[in-house]
Amino acid sequence: MKPIGLLQIRRTYKNLGRFRDIVNVFLKHGLGQIIEGLELHQFAPIRWWYKPLHKRLEREEAVSLPERLRIALEELGPSFIKFGQILSTRPDIIPREYVKAFDSLLDQVPPFPSEQARQIIEAELQSPLRELVAEFQDTPLAAASIAQVHRATLWSGEEVVFKVRRPGIGEIIKQDVDILHRLADLIKRYVPDLAFLNAPALVEEFEHAVLDEMDFLREAENATRFRANFEGNQDLRIPKVFLDLTTEQVLVMEYLEGIRIDDLDRLREAGQDLNKVAQRGSDVLFKMVLMDGFFHADPHPGNLLVLNNGQLGFVDFGVVGRIGEDLLDAMASTFVALLSRDYDALARQSVNLGFVPDNVDIEKYRKEMRADLENTIEPLVGRKLSQIPPAVYVERIMGLALKHHLRLPRELFLVGKCLVMFESLFRRLSPELDFFAVARPYARRLITQRSLIGTFTRKLRREAMDLLDVASSLPRELHLALRKFTKNDLQVKLEIADLASYVRRLDRASNRLTFAIIISAIVVGSAIIIPAARDAAALQWLVVGGFVVGILLALWLIVGIMRSGML
């Protein structure tokens, strides 16, 4: 068992109040089984000490477990909401009902006072606000857990928005990330059945994502890259970023006047052609994913506007997805294999890309995956693509990934989520839209650009560089290994699976046995000195104290055993 470091102990006590808040919220919503599983009994209120934490309350019987967990995450605030949203993009490891529940997590909080926003802007830009803007609207356009947005007019006459980070959110996020790391360690230690989740890696992924989203300089870089990718494009307009007015906590961008893409009534009143809007949106999506390899990964309707001239406008660039060269090559090969219905190639490709766990029998996996792909895709062959929603494809592929425990990159799930959300949105605008017909020319272009010869050349170049690195480092590594061997310093690490859980149980049992012996010693000792205590008042009090302490400790031990369910 790993020893707990002083820093970890200090953080645990520092976050004690927050731990209690989390436990209380979970218990409030009938999630005591999670508290029990993570052995967080010590943070439970006293009123729960005399009953099993996993007992569900009658008023929660009508609400499903995923929904109760979603409500709890919303109540716990921004960090847990963001973590739930990260989990919703991982259907390879999270059951479908939880993904569906976490998809509807609401990031809505009351706005903070505009005076605080003004103070933050002035402190970050080191200038009075009146010197920066001619007008500043105190009523925010939008407010979320990380930031809120105010409209303003620069002295140049340009209409802009100021996105201001919520005061104190950095410390809150940092505290909650520490707690999530601690909870991930507890899951790894006490819930071996959830080892497949790789909870520490999930928290690490969340930490990187939320820190990126809080860094407005990073968001400014994302917006600038989108603007460059769509320069001269008539379908999409990306707001200009004012880099001289942007810091980690303040982001200033051009204000886009438009109508939310899901407000169909206002769009019709404005005379917008909904079919053209859907067509433009589809073109934008496939250009981002299949051409640029850089896409907007938070495509809810509030982030996509229809401008007066019919162009689309993106806002909020905090969450983006990136598709690497290898993945783009794989997508091109996948399209070719699907067109030729070569299921062997698809199964082989999943192995070559490293999606398959190391402990899997590769030959057996390829046979089973080929059969599953054939059973999944063949029933769809011959049907019009326009009659098959992308959600069907995505759901079936994710089901296969879950069945075979494939380690798919998060970007693939973000792409799948974007396809489903965009398609659902655009189909409302234009029910006759053939989503796949729009995708076809982009897929052809991707296949052409990443032809077999081009892909082979790129891979050969990378492999040659890797081989050169190995060759240059091999003498040094061999010298180090030989030196350790001659000094008898070579170590072999042997790890017995699931030994830690048995050690913990043995440790707990021995602690309880020791505790019981101490209680018995106190009671027996008090009984022995009863005859001598008849004429000595001090000894009488000692006897009474010994019996009281012994009884209290015995009750404490019994309650602990009952709560663990090991009675």
Q: Strand, coil or helix: what is 163?
A: strand
Return all residues near 467 (Cβ < 8 A) that are at least 6 apart.
none
Locate tokens 């290898």: which residue? 326
| Same domain membership, residue 425 and residue 340 | yes
Identify whether 350 is part of a domain.
yes
| Same domain membership, residue 291 and residue 203 | no
Q: Which pLDDT score is estimated for 5?
A: 43
| Same domain membership, residue 193 and residue 273 | no
| Same domain membership, residue 205 and residue 92 | yes
Identify whether 470 is part of a domain.
no
Structure tokens at 234: 């008539």
| Same domain membership, residue 410 and residue 555 | no
Identify whether 197 is part of a domain.
yes
Structure tokens at 420: 């489903």
Q: Strand, coil or helix: what is 147?
A: strand
Identify whether 463 is part of a domain.
no
- The DSSP 8-state label assigned to residue 241 in this structure reads B
Identify whether 378 is part of a domain.
yes
Q: Which pLDDT score is estimated for 468?
A: 62
**Burial category of 385 from C-beta neighbours within 10 Å (exposed 0-12, middle 13-18, buried 19 and up):** middle
Task: Please say which residue of 450, 482, 508 terminates a domain.
Answer: 450
| Same domain membership, residue 359 and residue 284 | yes
| Same domain membership, residue 190 and residue 52 | yes
Identify whether 268 is part of a domain.
yes
Q: Strand, coil or helix: what is 308?
A: coil
Catalytic (active-site) positions: 298
Q: How far apart are CA 254 and CA 542, in angstroms?
A: 79
Q: How far apart are CA 282 and CA 312, in angstroms?
A: 11
Identify whether 440 is part of a domain.
yes
Q: How far apart are CA 32 and CA 39, in angstroms?
A: 10
| Same domain membership, residue 505 and residue 397 | no
| Same domain membership, residue 369 and residue 288 | yes
Q: How far apart are CA 368 and CA 347, in angstroms?
A: 9
Q: Which pLDDT score is estimated for 54?
A: 46
Identify whether 242 is part of a domain.
no
Contact, 353 vs 318, CB < 8 A? no
Q: Which pLDDT score is estimated for 7?
A: 44
| Same domain membership, residue 531 and residue 386 | no
Q: Which of 229, 227, 251, 225 is nearest to 237 (CA)?
A: 227
Contact, 563 vs 41, CB < 8 A? yes
| Same domain membership, residue 204 and residue 331 | no
Locate tokens 């609400």: which residue? 63
**Burial category of 171 from C-beta neighbours within 10 Å (exposed 0-12, middle 13-18, buried 19 and up):** exposed
Task: Please say which residue of 450, 484, 508 terminates a domain.
Answer: 450
Q: Which pLDDT score is estimated for 236?
A: 94
How far CA 274 is from CA of 167, 269, 428, 489, 522, in Å, comes to 40, 11, 9, 72, 82
Q: Which pLDDT score is estimated for 36?
A: 67
Locate tokens 């809080």: which residue? 214
- Using CA of residue 239, residue 240, residue 242, residue 246, what is the dihedral sign? positive
| Same domain membership, residue 418 and residue 324 | yes
Q: Total structural domains in the chain?
A: 3
pLDDT along the chain (567 residues), means of 10: 42 65 80 68 51 48 79 85 80 76 75 94 95 95 90 96 94 88 81 72 84 92 95 93 96 95 92 92 91 86 89 91 82 75 82 79 86 78 58 73 78 80 83 78 80 54 61 68 66 60 67 74 73 66 74 71 55
Structure tokens at 235: 């379908």
Domain that holds residue 91: 6-109+171-211
Q: Which pLDDT score is estimated for 131?
A: 94
